[in-house]
Chain A
Amino acid sequence: MQKENKEIIRKELRELGSSLPAEGKPSGFDLPEGYFESLPGIITARRSDSSEKKKLLTLPAATPRQALAWAASLLLLVSLTISLFFVGSDSMNGHYPYEAAHEADFEYFSLRSDLDHKQIYDMVLETDLSAEEIMYGLEMDDVADAGDYDEMMEYLFEEASYYGIESDYLLSSLD
């Protein structure tokens, strides 16, 4: 990891007429003692734990058409849940009805699979990924060319991941 030359940073600040210091930058952030010594161990423990869970929580295979239909159904479900909540509740107080939405998701997934609520809940926690995260390690060219297709995929992945569909599973189904 090569940092920018300090002189270049300093010169840039000077040219912008800034009085911000180029050395000894003020931040004020602190952290618990020994944090960086213990972090690698915590990550190792979580890695072993998450690979065990992953083995248990894998969705059955589906065709691309089924996967897309599934994602589309989810989008519809989200919209319906939100609309119903807005129409039916006058005590919203500006908060998103997450609890209500989760209940509906669990019911939906229970009906479509052999998983119970607890397993689905674990799965939602396990696969809380955004579209960008799913793309890491893959070349964007492998996935799509057109901008609008990218956008659509991003939206689908985001929604699907929010509802606990495994990202790898969705990607492989869409090959």
Chain B
Amino acid sequence: MGQHTDEELFEMFSKAGLENQAFNHIVRKYQEAVYWHVRRLVISHDDTNDIVQDVFIKAWQALPKFRQHSSLYTWIYRIATNEALTFLKKKKRRNLMPMVDVSKQLEETLEADAYYRGNDMEKKLQKAILALPEKQRVVFNMRYFDEMKYEDMAKVLDTSEGALKASYHHAVKKIEKSVVS
């Protein structure tokens, strides 16, 4: 069976009695993209699992109020990004840590996570990404790994395409320097 378009899913969701079925399709359509986006930000599989579930629960609760000015894809991505960043913010607040220490803690999480099997090169790249300032890290992941268009990223992060390009360029340069050294 081919995947439904967002419009079809939305139409299905608005019909009485089909909400659950439509939402189940939405979860199946976006779960992998959401999972990997969150996972790259919070690193641990267990934390990611909790966050991904929360993302879809919140999407379910907010979907009746969703206005189709943005696509379902960028909307869900936006929820996921905010959930992941809120998680990191809470982590920082809970331990009274500056962001740089959160990065250190995420590095430790990477080393300890039962579901991380990166080789030396992969670990080096991940650590270089974790050393980036938070915004650059989000932008780098979205562009490099998720291959998102700047136009969509701008909708998700509520910022200009120019600022995103600048962030991505800075991030790539820093990573390059760190990986090569």
Contact = CB atoms under 8 A, between A and B. Distances in A.
A3 interface: yes
Given A4-B148, A27-B122, A40 B172 contact: no
Interface residues of A, number: 43
B121 A26 contact: yes
Interface string A1-45: 111101001001100111110000111111110011001101110
A42 B50 CA distance: 11
A19 B180 contact: yes
B45 A17 contact: no
B57 A95 contact: no
Interface in A98-150: 98, 129-130, 132-133, 136-139
A47 B176 contact: no
Interface in B99-143: 115-119, 121-123, 125-126, 143
A95 B117 contact: no
A40 B126 contact: no
Nearest to B115: A30
A138 B33 CA distance: 23
Secondary structure at the B interface, as helix, strand, loop or mixed, is helix
Given A29-B39, A29-B116, A137 B66 contact: yes
B147 A4 contact: yes
Contacts of A60: none
B175 interface: yes
Contacts of B149: 2-4
A44 B180 CA distance: 46
A25 B118 CA distance: 12
Contact of B169 (A4, A16, A35, A94): A16
Contacts of B95: 94-96
B57 A139 contact: no
B4 interface: no
B22 to A, nearest CB: 12
A20 B176 CA distance: 7
A16 B176 contact: yes
Contacts of A172: none
Given A9-B143, A27-B145, A139-B67, A1 B33 contact: yes
A19 B181 CA distance: 13
A50 interface: yes
A28 B116 contact: yes
B27 A39 contact: yes
Contacts of A18: 172-173, 175-176
Given A16-B173, A19-B180, A20-B176, A50 B57 contact: yes
B144 A138 contact: no
A39 to B, nearest CB: 5
Contact of A26 (B45, B75, B122): B122
Interface of A: 1-4, 6, 9, 12-13, 16-20, 25-32, 35-36, 39-40, 42-44, 46-47, 50, 94-96, 98, 129-130, 132-133, 136-139
Pairs of residues from A and B, 6 with the lowest C-beta to C-beta distance, nearest first:
A28-B118, A137-B62, A28-B122, A137-B65, A26-B122, A3-B147
Given A50-B57, A130-B86, 14 more contacts: A1-B73, A18-B173, A20-B172, A26-B125, A27-B40, A28-B118, A29-B40, A31-B39, A31-B115, A43-B56, A133-B79, A133-B82, A136-B62, A138-B65
